[in-house]
Amino acid sequence: MTALLSVDKLGKEFGGVHAVEDLSFQVEKGRIHSIIGPNGAGKTTLFNLITGLYQPSSGSVHLNGRSLAGHQPHELAPLGMCRTFQNLQICQNMTALENVMLGRHRHLKQGTFTSLFKLPALRRADQQCREECAELMEFVGCGQYIRHHASAMPYGALKRLEIARALAASPDILLLDEPAAGLNRTETDALRDVIRRIADKGITVVLVEHDMKLVMSISDQVLVLCYGRKLAEGTPEEIRANPDVIDAYLGNRHSREEATA
Question: Does residue 85 form part of some domain?
Answer: no
Taking residues 102-127, report their average pLDDT: 62
From 138, 170, 202, give the residue that closes a domain.
170
Q: What is the pLDDT of residue 246?
A: 85
Question: Does residue 86 form part of some domain?
Answer: no
Structural domain that includes position 214? 1-80+171-261
Q: What is the pLDDT of residue 89?
A: 87
Residue from 190, 231, 199 nearest 36 by CA: 231
From 140, 170, 200, give the residue that closes a domain.
170
Over the stretch 155-179, which tens digit does the pLDDT of each residue have? 999 999 999 999 999 999 999 999 9
Taking residues 216-229, report their average pLDDT: 95
Shared-domain flag, residues 133 and 175: no
Shared-domain flag, residues 102 and 149: yes
pLDDT band, very low/low/confident/very high, at 230 (cuts 50, 70, 90): very high
102-113: b (≥16 Cβ within 10 Å) or e? ebbeeeeeeeee
Taking residues 103-110, report their average pLDDT: 64
DSSP string covering 151-173, please?
A: GGS-HHHHHHHHHHHHHTT--SE
Q: What is the pLDDT of residue 251?
A: 55
- Across all residues in the chain, what is the average pLDDT? 88
Question: Does residue 186 form part of some domain?
Answer: yes
From 170, 195, 226, give the residue that closes a domain.
170
Q: E strands within the chain?
A: 3-14, 17-28, 32-36, 58-63, 66-67, 81-83, 173-177, 204-208, 221-226, 229-234
Q: How many domains does the chain have?
A: 2
